[in-house]
């Protein structure tokens, strides 16, 4: 592994040389020793080191905290502070500059190395989290619905592109502002702001979800747009008392239920595509499961409303996998216990995502239960028998058949015959007997085949 480069910023030469020799012993690269904050910023730009050891009290007009703040803001280089002072004021100032470590002189060699390695790990994790956050924001921006988060005084904490477009601005420019501040320069001519504020406060104070079936706003061109909005309270570790809002444009759907279903499915398919891009090995998995589940439902003569809900739920049954790191999804070997436990959270995560959308069917509940099993051995809640909704029992069978019959990163396809034998051996134990028999007959009578079957 290539050695990491560390820039030392320390104005006491003896201490600086001692640190340098210690780091060289640990195989780090030390390009230079700097003695002032101004030079530290200049050299950081030139050398772009992997990490900077920054003394807080150094030469020049700029102390180490100020230099570190500017370096991390502009260059995103992790900083570890060195200081002989440990008073509360200095610690507080240092913490505000987002350091990745803090060492009080004098320190031992092993303490220095441990702090540096922890800083590298912390920085790596922060980049990964930021990457995942940016990915999720891109997913949210692909959804044609308006998605936003507000605090208790109505300031926007997060919005997607659809919301920003209505306000004739960018998501970044909306952060920290209220509807009253934004509406003046927006495309919106008329909006019932007072009722919006009232609804927001009711959601946060009441700690319960609120559905607003219809609300309208008028654009500056005179066009009236109708929305159906769901608002739910959220617990945020950073900002207490916030709400998440999802507004669906129902203008074209007001008198067309069929069109409503089409747009809903487009949104669902967009979410599915986003998940599949993260896990190419299961690309199309949810769609194939939906096809088989729908065929089973039709053969079992489920009511049309149930069948429609089942089809949508099957398309998004693994949507919660978006919270599972991609390296786990594509891992070629066997998962560790902790990795598998993380994968098992996808049912609950899917429920939380989908419960914010006002489907005309219990989609979120079906997705939550699709890994439950008749004998109570499933997850996340260990439900048994008829406590599991029939839609989830159908998806469970279709999911297992498709998964076994398809290629996975940890094994090749085991074939459809093997898949059918597996569900047959587990009927009345893990799976609903009627669902299994219906599935078996579909394949036996050649009434169903996966699209990519040869």
Domain boundary among 219, 249, 279: 249
Number of residues in the chain: 454
Residue 454 lies in a domain: no
Q: Which domain holds residue 75?
A: 6-138
Is the confidence at residue 257, as pLDDT, over 60?
no
| In a shared domain, residues 326 and 401 | yes
Task: Name the average pLDDT for the chain.
Answer: 84
| In a shared domain, residues 342 and 266 | yes
| In a shared domain, residues 11 and 106 | yes
pLDDT confidence tier of residue 64, bands split at 50, 70 and 90: confident
Looking up residue 42, the CATH number of its domain turns out to be 3.40.50.2300
Residue 452 lies in a domain: no
Residue 316 lies in a domain: yes
Give residue-wise pLDDT tens across range 93-122: 766 666 788 888 888 888 899 999 998 888
Residue 453 lies in a domain: no
Give residue-wise pLDDT tens across range 130-173: 777 666 666 666 667 888 889 888 899 888 888 888 888 898 89
Q: How many domains does the chain have?
A: 3
| In a shared domain, residues 209 and 320 | no
Which of these ranges, 22-36, 113-127, 313-327, 394-408, has the smallest mean pLDDT?
313-327
| In a shared domain, residues 156 and 172 | yes
What single string gives the DSSP state of each residue in 401-439?
Answer: HHHHHS-BTTB----HHHHHHHHHHTBTTTB-HHHHHHH
| In a shared domain, residues 430 and 285 | yes
CA dihedral defined by 14, 16, 19, 24, rounded to 10 degrees?
Answer: -110
Are 231 and 245 in contact, with CB atoms under 8 Å apart? yes
pLDDT confidence tier of residue 454, bands split at 50, 70 and 90: very low
Looking up residue 231, the CATH number of its domain turns out to be 3.30.450.20
Residue 236, pLDDT score: 66
| In a shared domain, residues 307 and 353 | yes
Residue 1 lies in a domain: no
Name the pTM for this structure: 0.45
Residue 150 lies in a domain: yes
| In a shared domain, residues 12 and 115 | yes
CA dihedral defined by 59, 60, 66, 71, rounded to 10 degrees?
Answer: -90
In 73-167, at which residue ranges do the beta strands (DSSP E only) sit?
A: 79-83, 101-104, 146-151, 156-159
**What is the mean pLDDT of the segment spanning 35-46?**
89
| In a shared domain, residues 198 and 133 | no
CA dihedral defined by 77, 80, 82, 87, rounded to 10 degrees?
Answer: 110
Looking up residue 430, the CATH number of its domain turns out to be 1.10.3210.10
| In a shared domain, residues 368 and 413 | yes
| In a shared domain, residues 374 and 396 | yes
| In a shared domain, residues 293 and 390 | yes
Domain boundary among 103, 138, 173: 138
Residue 46 lies in a domain: yes
Residue 309 lies in a domain: yes
Give residue-wise pLDDT tens across range 72-86: 888 889 999 888 766
pLDDT confidence tier of residue 24, bands split at 50, 70 and 90: very high
């Amino acid at each position: 592994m290539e050695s990491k480069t560390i820039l030392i910023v320390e104005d006491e030469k003896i201490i600086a040389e001692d640190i340098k020799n210690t780091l060289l012993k640990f195989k780090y690269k030390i390009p230079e020793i700097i003695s002032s904050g101004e030079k530290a910023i200049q050299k950081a730009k030139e050398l772009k080191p992997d990490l900077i050891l920054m003394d807080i009290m150094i030469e020049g007009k700029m102390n180490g905290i100020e230099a570190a703040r500017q370096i991390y803001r502009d260059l995103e280089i992790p900083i570890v502070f060195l200081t002989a002072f440990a008073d509360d004021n200095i610690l507080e100032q240092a913490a505000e500059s987002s350091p990745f470590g803090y060492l009080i002189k004098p320190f031992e060699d092993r303490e220095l190395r441990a702090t540096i390695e922890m800083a590298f790990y912390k920085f790596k994790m922060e980049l990964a989290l930021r990457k995942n956050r940016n990915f999720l924001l891109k997913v949210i921006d692909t959804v044609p619905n308006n998605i936003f988060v507000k605090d208790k005084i109505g300031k926007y904490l997060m919005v997607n592109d659809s919301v920003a477009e209505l306000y004739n601005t960018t998501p970044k420019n909306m952060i920290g502002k209220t509807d009253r501040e934004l509406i003046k320069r927006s495309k919106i001519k008329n909006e019932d702001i007072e009722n919006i504020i009232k609804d927001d406060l009711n959601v946060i104070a009441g700690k319960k979800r609120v559905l607003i079936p219809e609300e309208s706003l008028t654009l500056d061109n005179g066009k009236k747009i109708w929305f159906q909005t769901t608002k739910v309270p959220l617990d945020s570790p950073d900002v207490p008392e916030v709400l998440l809002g999802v507004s669906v444009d129902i203008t074209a759907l007001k008198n067309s239920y069929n069109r409503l279903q089409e747009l809903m499915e487009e949104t669902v398919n967009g979410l599915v595509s986003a998940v599949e891009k993260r896990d190419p090995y299961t690309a199309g998995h949810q769609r194939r499961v939906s096809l088989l589940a729908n065929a089973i439902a039709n053969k079992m003569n489920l009511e049309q409303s149930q069948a429609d809900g089942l089809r949508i739920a099957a398309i998004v049954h693994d949507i919660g996998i978006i919270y599972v790191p991609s390296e786990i999804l594509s891992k070629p070997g066997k998962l560790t216990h902790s990795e598998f436990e993380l994968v098992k959270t996808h049912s609950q995560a899917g429920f939380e995502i989908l419960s914010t959308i006002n489907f005309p069917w219990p989609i979120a509940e079906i997705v939550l239960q699709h890994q439950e099993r008749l004998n109570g051995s499933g997850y996340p809640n260990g439900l048994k028998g008829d406590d599991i909704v029939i839609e989830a029992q159908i998806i469970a069978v279709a999911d297992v058949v498709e998964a076994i019959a398809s290629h996975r990163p940890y094994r090749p396809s085991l074939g459809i015959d093997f898949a059918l034998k597996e569900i047959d051996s587990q009927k009345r134990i893990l799976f609903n007997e009627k669902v299994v028999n219906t599935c078996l007959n579909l394949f036996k009578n050649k009434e169903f085949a996966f699209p990519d079957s040869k």
